Each structure stands twice: as structure tokens, then as C-alpha cells.
Chain A
Amino acid sequence: MTMTSTRIAVALAGATALAAGAATAGSAAPRSGSAGPIKIGISLSLSGDFSDSGKAAKHGYELWKNVVNAHGGVLGRKVQLIIKDDTSSPTQASTNYQNFITKDKVDLVFGPFSTLLSAPSAAVANRYGYAFIEPAGGGPAVFQEKLHNVFFTQPAPVLQSADVFAKFLLSLPKAQRPKTAAYPSLDDPFSSPIADRVRTLLEKAGVKTVYKTIYPSETTDMTPIMQKIASKHPDAVIGGTQSNDAFAQVKAMIQLKFSPKFLFLTNGPNDPAEFPSKVGAKNVNGIFSTGDWFPEERSPGNAAFVKAYVKAYGGSAGTVDPTAAEAYAAGQVVEDVAKKIHSIDNKKIIATLHTGNWPTVEGVLRWNSIGEPQGSDLLVEWVNGKLSPVFPKNVALATALTPKPGWGG
């Protein structure tokens, strides 16, 4: 090949690539107004570290799809979910959303599980002008990008989710409040910043911090950390946790025979199905956690959701994973906004959701300009072997049990 023909070939190849790129970009916009089903792309962690929650979210999304389709769909069109596994990897989640929008040409997208995957995915959706209604990415990494297409379908941003525990402690008569506290937290954007916020609130109110640590996610043995905490005799242990490390913390405390007066873990104890089996049913009483949703909550459509969930997936109201409710709420929001604007145009959806209140199973939601919900989470506690909301008082279904009884009590 001569030099000239090589140049021509390169130029042609370049032109073809550009044309292909332009065609892809041009066709990325969804075909709104067409008569076929409304296609919604969702990347979920069906394998890997977040697979439990990923599957729970899938249940919630699919349940919403089935319910809405049974009632004639959205704007008279059936809903079709295109769900792809992201193996709990942020890179794969971003790729999945890129493909949903450019290849599958979906009309809408819903969020994946957790902040780690939602933050990069929201940026992809934003690039193409898609609304990013997401049930599980409530950590600071999602909101600090200040994207206007994000709508987090829980009552409060994750960072503020445990503020309710600080408020509860400070609502107690002074003599009953803890004087000292320890904060063992997982190195995770969904965990340690929450406990840090509670620490700041409690320190301001005079609760002395006797120990704080952030442990890496590969820490399997919590005993040394709990042993150190036990030696400091704190009144309260407040852990920023996910599920496994929470179970391991409780297990280690039981083995070390260390039972603080107050034990609050951001995640883990709020899983009514798993927690008693992982730490022993006799050991759960008096342990606090936080929740964005509760089976008995009197939020819009919640009773029907719980009934449909149990019918579809078995178990009881107590075994419904909150992640499923969060995902279901994302569907409710789309259903409502489409009804209101008679369209599923992403630009209009984004503009409309920034105003007004949106009733969902997660409560009535409203967002600021960067998608942070403006409500408050629930404080839940194990009382008589049952997980119940105990604070704020207007949503409480049980009286808070303080101080925590000893292990086995």
C-alpha cells in the first residue's frame, strides 16, 4: 500500500467511525410517544458483593411492573423492564447504562443498588439527559456531583439517616442519656460517614467519644475491635455498618460478654429476616437501627405493596426487604409523574419532579435541586423479639426499650 492510499484508508476509517458515532448519539434519544411497551433499563447486582440487595431491588421493580401492568400500564402502555447484572461492579454498571441508552434505546432508566454503583451510573444517565430515579444510592458520592437528574427514593439522604438516633438520645431525660460512646465503622461511603455525623451531633451535646475506628471491608474478625471497645466501657456503641460486619460486631460482643447500654448499628439489625438468625434470636432485644421503610408504615400504597409482595414472593410482612420497597417507590414516582405530565419525556420528568410532593410507599417524598430527599428516616429497635419503629413518636409502633437488656435478655 502506498503512502497516499494508506492516508485515504485512514481518513475513510475515521469518517466511518465518526458517522457511526453520530448515528449512535443521534439515535440515543428514546422513542417517546411510540405505541410499544415503555422500556426501562436497570442495572442490578445479581451477583457479587451486593447480590442480596440487588435481588431484593429486582423483586421490588418487578412487583411494581406487574402491578402497574395489571392496571393498564403507564399512559396506556405496558412496562417492560430490561435488567442486566453488573456483578456489583461500578464499571459494569456504567457500561450497562451506556448500553441501555445507546443500544437498547430504553425510554427510562432506574438506579442500581448502592452509592458505589449509583454515582457513576447517574453521571452516564445525566450525559444523555435521562432522569435517574434511584432507590439505593443515597451516599454523599451521589449528591456531591450536583446532578439535576437524580431523585433518591428514600425519605432522607443516607448521610442523615442516623440523625434520628442522635435526636432520640437527646430526647431522653439527661440522666438516662449515654455519657460516653464508641464508634466502630466500616470503610464504606454508605457506612462510616453516617456514624461520623451522629458522633458530631452527640459530641456537641456533651457525649464523650472514647473510641472511634474505621475498619477495612476485608476485616473478618471483629473480636479485637470489640475487645478494645469493651475495655473503654462506653455507654453507647454506634457503628456505621453494612450487614456482615454488623453481625460480626454483635457476635464478638456476645462472646466477649460486653453489652453496652445503647447499641445502634446503621445496617444489619434493620434486616428482620436475617438478623435474628445471624446473631441468635435471644440476643436481638434493645438493638437499634435505622430504616427508611417499615412493613406496617401507613405510607401511600404501602399496605397494598406488602400484600402483593407476600403473595408474589412468599414469607410475611416482616420478611419484606426494604430495598424492594425503595425500588417499588421508584416505580410509583414514574407512574405519578407520567400521569401528571401525560408524557415520559425525560426532560419534562426531571423538571416536574423538582417541584411538589410525591406519595410513595417510602412516605411522601420531595427533593432539592440535586435529588436529596427532604424527609427523615425512622428509628427502629428490636423490642420483644420484633423490629418496630420507636421514634419519631408520630410514627412509633412500640415504646423504646432502654437501656439495652443483657445478652439473652
Chain B
Amino acid sequence: MHNVVQAIILGVLIGGVYALMASGLTLVFGIMKVINVAQGALVILAAYLSYTLFSHLHVDPFLSILIVTPAMFVLGVAVQLVFVRSLRGRDASELSLLVTWALALGIEGALSAVFQTTYRSTLPSYTYRSWDIFGYQVGLVRVLGFAASALLLGLLSLLLTRTRFGRAVRATVQNPTAATLLGVDSNRVQTLSFGIGVSMAAAAGAVYGVIYPFNPGSHYDLISRLLSIVVLGGLGSIGGAVAAALTMGVVESVVAVEISPTWAAFSFFIVLIAFLLVRPQGIFGLRSSFTPPGS
């Protein structure tokens, strides 16, 4: 039992970080029906930025979120303006897959050229510190990572529910045509949302680099996890992404401890498939909100 509880703690802490990455992906999908498969690569790009700030300028990786997030927001806005906005018409969703995949490969190639393929880790002095809470070991960096993720997800939630911009975003998600008719500037909403989605990846990337070693190819594993999370959570639902990410963290961690690490990653997919058989729209997804592209 002790092992299961410890595994659940670990799973929740790491699930929080995945939730932050996935929130950006699902937000962008909700608004513009674009599946940004470069989200994993953007996480890794941010991990490298934070790593560089730490190793050259001794900027604490958690403080570097304050630098990396706005910088990547600007990058996200630029990517949306240059690559994504020009995709129009019925195939826009399919084309966006190709465009963002090309972006992912471009980022991977550029990172390989600059940093080589050696695994890197951002290792601040407190990396190895942990607390003993009722006999359970809780790593400091994981708690900080979870706290940073929770804080940013909270801010995102406030932005979406308490501001005029947030109302415009939610209106666009629910009914883009009606939102435009009522005066919402959909281009602006799409561009800013894409930037926000990328900045969520950025913050998560800074945290990721402290917890796990990474190299430019790490994004393949990440994007497969993130896509699974947003599908389980319900495409377009941030709450669903959070619930799904936590589920993934806990299932993987408990299976690794109680059954075998070989089954850990696969076990989440079993949960995903089983859940989707019962509820195809995901945890919080609305059956009617998803219109297959081209239909």
C-alpha cells in the first residue's frame, strides 16, 4: 500500500507538468481546429532555452519561466501568422498537421545542429533535495514543477473566465460564426491563443528539463503522450486535459511500481482505448462540438 500511495504522489506531481503542456495543445485545437504536433518540440525547445540560461547565465530554471514564456509567446504568435493563418478552406486541419509537423522537425534539426544529440539536464543545486512526509519521499523539483504548472493553469483559467479576451476565446470555441457576427475579431483571438498555447509549452519545458534528461529527439515521445492526453480529456477541453494528464501520471507510475516498467507506458493506452469505447468524446468533450474536418 505504501508503494501505491508513493506512486500516486509521484504520478500526480508529474501529471501536473504534462497537464500544462497539454493545455496549450487542447486550447489551440478548441479555437482553430489545428492539431499542433509541434507542441512536443516546442516543449523541448523551451527546455533548451532554460538549460542555456541556467548553464551560461546561472538563471534558476524555475525563474527562467518568466523569460522563456514571453519569448516563446512571441515565437508562437509569429508561427501562427506565418505558417498557420495562411491555411484556409476545408483542408486547413489536415494541412495544419503537416505544417506543424514540419515545424517540429525543423526545431529538432536546429537543436541538433546547435546542441548536438547529447542528453542534457538542467541540474540546479537543489535537484536532489526531497522531503520526507509521513514516510513518503517527495522530491523538491517535482513539487516546484507541479506548483508552477498549477499556478500557470490557474492563471490560464482566470484569463479564459474573467477577461473580455477569455470570453471571446470561449465564444470562438463554442461557435466561431456566431462569435464573428457578434464582433469578435477571430484572427486576433486565433493568433493570441496560439501564442498562449506555445507559452504553456514553454513553461512546461523549463520544468521538464529539470526533471528529465532531454535531447532534440525527445519530442516524439512527448507528442504521443500529449495527443493521448488531449484525446482522453476531450479535444478542446482544458479541464479534460488536466484530468487526463493526472490519470496518465498516476496509471503509469502505479503500473511501473506494481506490475512492471515495461507495461507502464502501454497501460495508459489501454485506459485510453477502454475509456473511448465507452465515451468517445473523452472525459469532458462534447460529442457535438467535434466536427470531423472536411465533413
A-side interface residues toward B, CB under 8 Å? 47-49, 51-52, 187, 213-216, 218-221, 223-225, 227-228, 231, 243-244, 247-248, 251, 254-257, 277-278, 280, 283, 407
Contacts and interface: CB of A to CB of B under 8 A. Distances in A.
A52 B252 CA distance: 30
Interface in B229-256: 252-254, 256
Main secondary structure of the interface of B (DSSP, over half): helix
Given A221-B14, A224-B264, A228-B257, 15 more contacts: A47-B112, A48-B217, A218-B221, A220-B212, A220-B213, A221-B252, A221-B253, A231-B2, A248-B212, A255-B128, A256-B130, A257-B137, A277-B123, A278-B121, A407-B128
Interface residues of B, number: 35
A214 B213 contact: no
20 contacts: A47-B117, A51-B117, A214-B261, A214-B262, A215-B261, A219-B265, A221-B212, A223-B10, A224-B7, A224-B256, A224-B257, A227-B10, A227-B257, A228-B257, A231-B3, A254-B128, A255-B130, A256-B137, A257-B132, A280-B123
B260 interface: yes
A214, A221, A231 pick with most chain B CB within 10 angstroms: A221
B6 interface: yes
A254 B118 CA distance: 23
A283 B2 CA distance: 26
B290 interface: no
A50 to B, nearest CB: 9
Closest 5 CB pairs of A and B: A224-B256, A215-B261, A255-B139, A254-B128, A224-B257
A20 B100 CA distance: 44
A277 B213 CA distance: 13
Contact of B128 (A215, A243, A283): A283
A52 B116 CA distance: 9
Given A255-B130, A280-B127, A216 B118 contact: no
Contact of B260 (A47, A213, A221, A227): A213
A48, A227, A254, A278 pick with most chain B CB within 10 angstroms: A227
B128 A227 contact: no
B83 interface: no
B275 interface: no
A243 B213 CA distance: 11
Interface in B86-140: 112, 116-119, 121, 123, 127-130, 132, 137, 139
Contacts of A187: 262
Given A224-B10, A248-B213, A278-B123, A51 B128 contact: no
B7, B129, B261, B264 pick with most chain A CB within 10 angstroms: B261
B132, B213, B254 pick with most chain A CB within 10 angstroms: B213
B203 to A, nearest CB: 19
Contacts of B130: 254-257
B190 to A, nearest CB: 33
Contacts of A218: 221, 265
A257 B135 CA distance: 11
Interface of B: 2-3, 6-7, 10, 14, 112, 116-119, 121, 123, 127-130, 132, 137, 139, 211-213, 217, 221, 252-254, 256-257, 260-262, 264-265
Contacts of B213: 220, 244, 247-248
A216 B212 contact: no
Nearest to B121: A278
Nearest to B249: A221
A80 to B, nearest CB: 26
Contacts of A248: 212-213
A128 B116 CA distance: 34
A52 B217 CA distance: 15
A75 to B, nearest CB: 37
Contacts of A256: 130, 137
A231 B6 CA distance: 11
B3 A280 contact: no
Given A225-B256, A228-B257, A283-B128, A216 B6 contact: no
A244 B119 contact: yes
B2 to A, nearest CB: 7
A243 B215 CA distance: 14
A219 B127 contact: no
B117 A227 contact: no
A283 B123 CA distance: 14
A280 to B, nearest CB: 6
Nearest to A223: B10
A257 B257 CA distance: 17
Contact of B261 (A219, A255, A280): A219
B62 to A, nearest CB: 17
Given A47-B117, A227-B3, A227-B7, A219 B264 contact: yes
A51 B118 contact: yes
A282 to B, nearest CB: 9
A51 B221 CA distance: 19
Contacts of A223: 10, 139, 253
Contact of B262 (A216, A251, A277): A216
Contacts of A225: 256-257, 261
A225 to B, nearest CB: 6
B169 to A, nearest CB: 33
Contacts of B119: 243-244
A251 B122 CA distance: 13
Nearest to B265: A218
A283 B128 CA distance: 10
A385 B130 CA distance: 23
B220 to A, nearest CB: 9
A112 to B, nearest CB: 16
Contacts of B252: 221, 224
Given A224-B261, A256-B137, A49 B117 contact: yes
Given A52-B118, A187-B262, A224 B128 contact: no
B138 to A, nearest CB: 9
Contacts of A407: 128
A141 to B, nearest CB: 20
Contacts of B10: 221, 223-224, 227
